[in-house]
Structure 1
């Protein structure tokens, strides 16, 4: 945790001068009891104890060894390179579902204890502001769902995958589990022969051992912890080339390659469609991770979107619907992954845009009019605002159900805001705004105020009153150009997805 701005005590014989300095600073460490460990956070309105103050993570190096069974923990080593932003006598990591064997800080053993869903780490020597911080944690990673968690490791038919949104990365590995602190990632995954391991980014090494193989991957761009992906299973890895030579890598159950191929070949054209709308694809590769699992959602893990196999194999999903869901997760690579939310209240920027392009794709390729969907959403919008809060000020998650922040108000309710904005400023200005948004904030974080300011700049006029009503109002404002639209909770709206 942050300490007072006093000189850090040195590991040397204490003189009268150093004792006097300690007394003046109020940090006579030898005579003071250590503070009571507490869970910290960076003050996120929806997840107050997520993230930690005092340091900025630069990179993660994660090593997992899978024992060949989902009933046994993985052994793991998490290495974190960071830089301190305060003087630190101790600091916190988010981690809540595993056993910690040891923690080293800058090569020296550190003491640690738990506080809520945090690890409180006390290095042997306090850390100066602006100093390098290398943390090495040897721990287990539990594939059994943690009590009260909505994610982390997901069991598949033949292995595991990750689903860390919104706040479950720390159920898998120690981290600063908030999207405002993006970092580079390297993965090393050791699996028994017969299994394949994949992760975000590009492969950098494969090493064969006695009865096992270690697969290594590295991200080419910074990533939020909630977007990390490691999948282990008896999978086939399929390669093809997308627009402008983009590598496309799909990971599917080996036994289902033939059945899934008709869907997989659609990705390249979908990427080209998105690039025509908002600009170049922002990462080093893309693909689908199709898992034999029942999660209840699909997930935009960076460069490798997670899908339930049933989405593609169940006959009751219309073809146009499946394709639009593929585009929903693809569009997140721009909106949510490349441009990440600064706080979880900015979630509408992720899901509203993904829903927007999902609906626009259905309109342009399957004759499913955007206006019909938006009018239905308008009819339910007041109900959504009442139950879940307005799009940019969502209510906190239901107790014990952290992913309940993913309500209709941040999907179709937020897409409705974008529809109203297009009506307000015109299609050419709206399309220019979209391209500028992802270009200006690529590989970074942004919040609602950033979007409002950019929209006003593009429109050439102050839109603060417009956004105040549409993003924060208890009631949905009148729809520009459609004064006849009414809010009527009896209307139906399409099912949302994460």
Structure 2
């Protein structure tokens, strides 16, 4: 996954509305989201959107007076909280709803409003279509930097007739809308963090393959009549390998790979965006490819089992990076595995040459996204290789399977992974985790 991770306290200024005031808020502070429901009308040519949104929250504070979400460029109107009118205010870093009454800890509230505008990020036009990538909280109101706050998501897409769509979770039957559009409904069957919410729509060419782990669907959004069978020839073998190592089949027994122009590389809840440029780079050296295995690995490590915070991102990205190497070992032998890890070692060394090396679960600020990836992606993969060598193959894979199956649908920390590996190996791994993961 390629994206910027930012988690910071918010100082709200320049607000509007009768109840607006300058306050210090962190998006997500004082509440958890239980459900997002969005009815969206995207303009395929301009990527502007309009629609309605409903958010159900539960207070985690004794006196929650405001709900702060990630800032975006959307216009918010017709706001109610449990049916009562409410006010909204914005800053560069927060979108804040003032509650008409305080929420006690454990109590729930339902927030409803209209949205309209052109998102600054997260939506890309295609030939006759559109797709979203990572920045869900630019085209809806949500919490972008709260991977530990997993919620249900319902998406109603109003689209021109004749288009196909993909979204998070399972699709309901397409029906005609009153305004001449067609209504595509998607509903998650599990809880997911908002950064995984996504959709795509267009005149996609599609090919499907049935496997023991679930159905694979390959969709072409490039408009170039790509040879899908050739592009995704390795996918059935990759999903079989990953499901075996996870000890679990695909969630919802279905997984979609959408081929898009450029070098996109992104997982979502239920499908992945695969840039045709990334596949082209591996055309002459299939053993050098990474994107399909990496993004598919996130179906388990990242989506099904999710890091509790970006501080623990290595549990998503380090595992996915390592699983690319493990898949290559399975497919092409140990030299391919060593080659992949050598690349990770080179990326880590470049960060060290810049004077930067931190434990995997370090909670400070990284100087750049590239350096962050060198630690949480590459060093994470190298740590897993070190752990595999230390405790042995059988214990390592048993521990990974235990970690995955014990935490289905949950958020996890490094301590959860350490516990699973200690139980699988029967060894005290505190010194190893202190050296690599926690520091000190």
- Tell me the TM-score normalized by structure 2: 0.86
Q: Equivalent of 1:88, from 42, 47, 64?
A: 64
The 1:394–1:469 alpha-carbon spacing in structure 2 relative to 1, beyond 3 Å, is: same
Q: Displacement of 1:377 after TM fit? A: 4.0
Q: Displacement of 1:39 after TM fit? A: 5.2
| 1:123 match: secondary structure | strand
| 1:337 match: secondary structure | coil
Q: Displacement of 1:137 after TM fit? A: 2.3
1:428 lines up with 2:394 in the alignment: yes
**2:361 matched to which residue of 1?**
392
Greater Cα shift, 191-200 or 73-82: 191-200
**1:267 matched to which residue of 2?**
235
Alignment partners' CA distance in 2, 1:39 and 1:338: 33
The 1:213–1:321 alpha-carbon spacing in structure 2 relative to 1, beyond 3 Å, is: farther
**2:15 matched to which residue of 1?**
none
Q: Displacement of 1:197 after TM fit? A: 2.7
Greater Cα shift, 225-234 or 405-414: 405-414
The 1:473–1:89 alpha-carbon spacing in structure 2 relative to 1, beyond 3 Å, is: closer
Q: Deviations over 1:79-129 (max 9, x none)?
A: 112222222222212232211123211122101111332122122222233
Q: Is the 8 A contact 2:167 2:270 kept in 1?
A: no
Q: Equivalent of 1:163, from 130, 133, 145?
A: 133
1:36 lines up with 2:21 in the alignment: yes
For structure 1, which runs of at least 5 residues remain unmatched after alignment? 1-32, 42-50, 146-151, 475-498
The 1:384–1:419 alpha-carbon spacing in structure 2 relative to 1, beyond 3 Å, is: same
**2:168 matched to which residue of 1?**
200
Q: Displacement of 1:331 after TM fit? A: 1.0
Q: Equivalent of 1:458, from 424, 432, 435?
A: 424
Q: Deviations over 1:187-227 (max 9, x none)?
A: 11112234333211211131224542121111111111111
For structure 2, which runs of at least 5 residues remain unmatched after alignment? 1-17
How many residues are treated as equivalent by the alignment?
416
| 1:193 match: secondary structure | coil
| 1:431 match: secondary structure | helix
**1:302 matched to which residue of 2?**
269
- Tell me the TM-score normalized by structure 1: 0.77
Q: Displacement of 1:473 after TM fit? A: 4.9
**1:468 matched to which residue of 2?**
434
Alignment partners' CA distance in 2, 1:297 and 1:179: 21
Q: Displacement of 1:63 after TM fit? A: 1.5
Q: Is the 8 A contact 2:163 2:204 kept in 1?
A: yes
Q: Equivalent of 2:212, from 243, 250, 256?
A: 243
The 1:363–1:222 alpha-carbon spacing in structure 2 relative to 1, beyond 3 Å, is: same
Q: Deviations over 1:352-387 (max 9, x none)?
A: 111111111112212343234435544664543533
The 1:383–1:37 alpha-carbon spacing in structure 2 relative to 1, beyond 3 Å, is: same
Give runs of aligned pairs for residues 336-351 of structure 1, distance below 5 A: 336-351=302-317
| 1:140 match: secondary structure | strand
Structure with the greater alpha carbon radius of gyration: 1
**2:410 matched to which residue of 1?**
444
1:232 lines up with 2:201 in the alignment: yes
Q: Equivalent of 2:106, from 106, 114, 130?
A: 130
More strand per residue: 2
**1:408 matched to which residue of 2?**
374
Let me know the Cα RMSD of the aligned residues: 2.6
**2:12 matched to which residue of 1?**
none
Q: Is the 8 A contact 1:38 1:116 kept in 2?
A: no
1:107 lines up with 2:113 in the alignment: no
Q: Is the 8 A contact 1:203 1:216 kept in 2?
A: yes
